[in-house]
Amino acid sequence: MDFAPELLELGARAQAAARRLAFAATAEKNRALRELAAALPRAEDEILAANALDLAQAAEKGLPPVLSDRLALTPQGIRAMARAAEEVADLPDPVGGGEFWTRPNGLKIEKTRVPLGVIAIIYEARPNVTTDAAALCLKAGNACVLRGGSEALQSNLVLARLIGAAVESAGLPAGCVQLLPWSERVYAEQLMRLDRYIDVLIPRGGAALIQNVARNATVPVIETGTGVCHAFVDAAADMDKAIRVVVNAKTNKPAVCNALETVLVHRAAAAVFLPRLAAEFQAAGVEMRGCAETRALIPAAAEATEEDWSAEYGGLIISIRVVADLDEALDHIYRYGTKHSETILTEDYSAAQRFLRETDAAAVYVNASTRFTDGGRFGFGAEIGISTQKLHARGPMGLAELTTVKYVVYGDGHIVT
Amino acid sequence: MDFAPELLELGARAQAAARRLAFAATAEKNRALRELAAALPRAEDEILAANALDLAQAAEKGLPPVLSDRLALTPQGIRAMARAAEEVADLPDPVGGGEFWTRPNGLKIEKTRVPLGVIAIIYEARPNVTTDAAALCLKAGNACVLRGGSEALQSNLVLARLIGAAVESAGLPAGCVQLLPWSERVYAEQLMRLDRYIDVLIPRGGAALIQNVARNATVPVIETGTGVCHAFVDAAADMDKAIRVVVNAKTNKPAVCNALETVLVHRAAAAVFLPRLAAEFQAAGVEMRGCAETRALIPAAAEATEEDWSAEYGGLIISIRVVADLDEALDHIYRYGTKHSETILTEDYSAAQRFLRETDAAAVYVNASTRFTDGGRFGFGAEIGISTQKLHARGPMGLAELTTVKYVVYGDGHIVT
Instruction: Evaluate whether residue A389 is within a structural domain.
Output: no
Out of B238, B404, B407, whose CB is closest to A390? Answer: B404
Contacts of B364 in chain A (CB under 8 A): 406-409
Asked if B391 lies within 8 A of A222 by C-beta distance, the reply is yes
Contacts of A96 in chain B (CB under 8 A): none
Identify which of B332, B331, B263 has the alpha carbon closest to the alpha carbon of residue B297. B263
Helix (H) or strand (E) holding A293: helix A292-297
Tell me, yes or no, whether A195 and A305 share the same domain: no
Phi/psi at A144 (nearest 5 deg)?
A: -135, 150
Count of structural domains within chain B: 2
Tell me the C-alpha distance between A361 and A352, whole Å.
15
Instruction: Evaluate whether residue A383 is within a structural domain.
Output: no
Tell me the C-alpha distance between B312 and B254, whole Å.
10
Mutate to test the interface with B, among A391, A397, A417 (most CBs of B within 10 A): A391
Instruction: Evaluate whether residue A384 is within a structural domain.
Output: no
Query: Strands A341-345, A229-233: parallel, antiparallel or unpaired by DSSP?
Result: parallel
Tell me the C-alpha distance between A111 and B396, whole Å.
11
Distance from the Cα of residue B332 to its chain's centroid: 25
Asked if B416 lies within 8 A of A358 by C-beta distance, the reply is no
Answer with the residue of higher pLDDT: A417 or A332.
Answer: A332
Query: Confidence band (pLDDT; 50, 70, 90) for A343?
Result: very high
pLDDT tens, position by position, A236-260: 999 999 999 999 999 999 988 999 9
Mutate to test the interface with A, among B222, B339, B391 (most CBs of A within 10 A): B391
User: The domain that contains B285 carries what CATH number?
Assistant: 3.40.309.10
pLDDT tens, position by position, B80-115: 999 999 999 999 999 998 999 999 999 999 999 999
Q: Are B170 and B35 in contact (CB under 8 A)?
A: yes
Out of B109, B367, B417, whose CB is closest to A378? Answer: B109
Phi/psi at A230 (nearest 5 deg)?
A: -120, 150
Tell me the C-alpha distance between B312 and B66, whole Å.
17
Asked if A23 lies within 8 A of B360 by C-beta distance, the reply is no
CB-based contact, B96 to chain A, within 8 Å: no
Mean pLDDT of the region A61-72: 86
Asked if B360 lies within 8 A of A117 by C-beta distance, the reply is yes
Residue B211: the pLDDT is: 82
Q: Are A259 and A371 in contact (CB under 8 A)?
A: yes
Asked if A414 lies within 8 A of B390 by C-beta distance, the reply is no
Query: Strands B229-233, A287-290: parallel, antiparallel or unpaired by DSSP?
Result: unpaired
Tell me, yes or no, whether B22 and B69 share the same domain: yes
Residue A78: the pLDDT is: 97
| Least Cα separation, residue B231 to chain A (angstroms) | 12
| Least Cα separation, residue A38 to chain B (angstroms) | 30
Residue B368: the pLDDT is: 98
Mean pLDDT of the region A75-82: 96
Tell me, yes or no, whether B203 and B239 share the same domain: no
Out of A107, A244, A363, whose CB is closest to B372? Answer: A107
Asked if A22 lies within 8 A of B360 by C-beta distance, the reply is yes
Instruction: Evaluate whether residue B378 is within a structural domain.
Output: no
Tell me, yes or no, whether B245 and B330 share the same domain: yes
Longest dimension (CA), chain B: 80
Asked if B415 lies within 8 A of A103 by C-beta distance, the reply is no
Tell me the C-alpha distance between B206 and B204, whole Å.
7
Residue A67: the pLDDT is: 81
Q: Are A239 and A280 in contact (CB under 8 A)?
A: no
Residue A128: the pLDDT is: 92
Mean pLDDT of the region A102-123: 97
Rg of chain B over Cα atoms, rounded to whole angstroms, equals 24
With CA atoms as reference, the chain A residue closest to B410 would be: A366
Contacts of A107 in chain B (CB under 8 A): 368, 372
Asked if A103 lies within 8 A of B369 by C-beta distance, the reply is no
| Least Cα separation, residue B237 to chain A (angstroms) | 10
Tell me the C-alpha distance between A44 and A372, whole Å.
32
Mean pLDDT of the region A95-108: 95
**Which residues of chain A from 2 to 21 reach within 8 Å of chain B, CB to CB?**
19
Out of A357, A362, A413, whose CB is closest to B241? Answer: A413
Tell me, yes or no, whether B205 and B351 share the same domain: no
Positions of E strands within B116-176: 118-122, 143-147
| Least Cα separation, residue A370 to chain B (angstroms) | 9
Residues with Cβ within 8 Å of B282's Cβ and at least 6 positions away in sequence, in order, are: B300
Tell me the C-alpha distance between B203 and B188, whole Å.
11
Residue type, A334: Y
Residue B63: the pLDDT is: 86
**Which residues of chain A from 253 to 272 reach within 8 Å of chain B, CB to CB?**
253
Tell me, yes or no, whether B24 and B55 share the same domain: yes
Tell me, yes or no, whether B86 and B218 share the same domain: yes
| Least Cα separation, residue B409 to chain A (angstroms) | 5
With CA atoms as reference, the chain A residue closest to B239 would be: A413
Positions of E strands within B116-249: 118-122, 143-147, 177-179, 200-203, 229-233
Q: Spell out, as residue ranges, where chain B has pLDDT lower than 70.
A: none
With CA atoms as reference, the chain A residue closest to B390 would be: A404
Tell me the C-alpha distance between B347 and B189, whole Å.
50
Tell me, yes or no, whether A193 and A299 share the same domain: no
Tell me the C-alpha distance between B393 and A86, whole Å.
31
Contacts of A414 in chain B (CB under 8 A): 245, 367-369, 372
Tell me, yes or no, whether A280 and A305 share the same domain: yes
Phi/psi at B142 (nearest 5 deg)?
A: -100, 140
DSSP B150: G
Q: Note down the domain range covering B248.
A: 229-372
Looking at the DSSP assignment, which residues form a beta bridge with residue A318?
A: A288
Out of A363, A367, A406, whose CB is closest to B407? Answer: A363
Tell me, yes or no, whether A11 and A58 share the same domain: yes
Q: What percentage of chain B carries pLDDT values higher than 90?
A: 88
Phi/psi at A395 (nearest 5 deg)?
A: 80, -160
Tell me the C-alpha distance between A384 and A363, whole Å.
17
pLDDT tens, position by position, A193-250: 999 999 999 998 877 888 888 788 889 999 887 899 999 999 999 999 999 999 999 9
CA–CA distance from B325 to each of A229, B232, B241 (Å)? Answer: 57, 10, 19
Instruction: Evaluate whether residue B89 is within a structural domain.
Output: yes
Tell me, yes or no, whether B360 and B234 share the same domain: yes
CB-based contact, A395 to chain B, within 8 Å: yes
Instruction: Evaluate whether residue B386 is within a structural domain.
Output: no
User: The domain that contains B102 carries what CATH number?
Assistant: 3.40.605.10
pLDDT tens, position by position, A347-376: 999 999 999 999 999 999 999 999 999 999
Instruction: Evaluate whether residue A379 is within a structural domain.
Output: no
Tell me, yes or no, whether B189 and B306 share the same domain: no
Identify which of A140, A119, A261, A142 has the alpha carbon closest to the alpha carbon of residue A204. A119
**Which residues of chain B from 195 to 234 reach within 8 Å of chain A, CB to CB?**
199-200, 220, 222
Specify the 3-state DSSP secondary structure of B312. coil
Tell me the C-alpha distance between B237 and B55, whole Å.
47
DSSP codes of every residue in A334-398: HHH--SSEEEEE-S-HHHHHHHHHH--SSEEEEEE-GGG-SHHHHT-S--SEEE-SSSS--EEE-
Asked if A362 lies within 8 A of B406 by C-beta distance, the reply is yes
Looking at the DSSP assignment, which residues form a beta bridge with residue A265?
A: A233, A322
Contacts of B248 in chain A (CB under 8 A): 415-416
Instruction: Evaluate whether residue A381 is within a structural domain.
Output: no
